[in-house]
Amino acid sequence: AEIVINIPPLRERVGDAALLAHAFVRRFAGEQNRSAMSLSEEAVRAVESHPWPGNIRELENRVRRATIMADGSQISSTDLGLTESAPDDADCPLDLRVIRDHADRKAIVAALGRVNGNMVRASELLGVSRPTLYDLMHRLGLK
């Protein structure tokens, strides 16, 4: 018996790229004895907006290279070889509830990615109370 597990590409998993990038920075900075390294806000935005045609391996390799090559303690989008780009909304649905849910999900995951999973800081960034953030996450099926 075999089990088939379908994992969507990174570009379809909103917010995962930022969370993975933070994890890779911690890992590679530790390996390089540069544990104080972090991603700048513009680097996180660039990671979130990049389509990642090379999937997680591309993200991992860019973060590894940036961790080694970065001059300071913060990794910039330039260090990653990325620039921010505007998302393409051509295929966006017109159902208002779907649009709101998608926007809420994207904002929550992006906020959590920017603050490295800290719920208090994410709720502050989003301008909602912590209980409201938990309620939204539950309604949207986020953990």
pLDDT class of 60 with cuts at 50, 70, 90: very high
pLDDT in tens, 80-95: 998 755 454 544 556 7
The total number of structural domains that make up the chain: 2
* pLDDT tens profile 5-23: 888 888 888 888 999 999 9
Q: Are strands 74-75 and 38-39 parallel, antiparallel or unpaired?
A: parallel
Structural domain range at position 124: 91-143
Which of 87, 107, 135 represents a domain boundary (last residue)? 87
Q: Are residues 98 and 67 in the same domain?
A: no
Cα gap 66→81, rounded to integer Å: 8
Same domain, 66 and 97: no
**What predicted TM-score, i.e. pTM, was given to this entire model?**
0.60
Residue written as token pair 């904002």:
107
Residue 65, burial from CB neighbour count under 10 angstroms (0-12, 13-18, 19+): middle
